[in-house]
Amino acid sequence: MLGWYRDEILVFVVVVHIVVRLIKEHRSGDWPVVQGSVVKVYPPRPLIFPQVEVAYTYRVDGKLYTGMHSRGFFLKLSAEDYANQFHLPRSVVVRYRLGEPTASVVRQSDQVNQGARAFE
Identify the pLDDT of residue 2: 52
pLDDT at 107: 85
Domain boundaries of the chain, sorted by first residue: 2-113
Cβ atoms of 79 and 50 closer than 8 Å: yes
Chunk the chain into consecutive blocks of 10 residues (it has 120) and report each block's average pLDDT, rounded to whole numbers: 60 72 75 94 80 93 95 86 82 93 89 52
pTM of the model: 0.75
Q: Give ∠ CA 47-52-55 in degrees, rounded to 5.
A: 140
In order of 47, 56, 89, the CA distances from 33 in angstroms are: 33, 14, 19
The CA–CA distances, whole Å, from 89 to 33, 38, 56, 92, 109 equal 19, 7, 11, 10, 21
The CA distance from 87 to 40, in Å, is: 9
User: By the 8 A CB rule, do 92 and 118 touch?
Assistant: yes
